[in-house]
Structure 1
């Protein structure tokens, strides 16, 4: 699914951001929020598809 690929890309971007910069606090927090939101969307979609 496209959402799972997007989630993996966000995770990779977070790892890269953390390893490449010392001043990434805002970027990291934004990436964390995007990852959380996408995980919730995927979980809800999976629940809806089970019914």
Structure 2
């Protein structure tokens, strides 16, 4: 099985080097960095 694109959520101290390792091997990386402060506020304001 081969793939040429991966998706990652979170680019912290583990996610960023992992994404860089995939990218260095010519694998397209789609990533999303989550702002924990903003995420916490959204959860607090949810019904």
TM-score bin (small chain): 0.3 to 0.5
Indicate the structure with greater strand content. 2
Larger radius of gyration, structure 1 or 2? Answer: 2
TM-score normalized by the length of structure 1: 0.44
TM-score by length of 2: 0.46
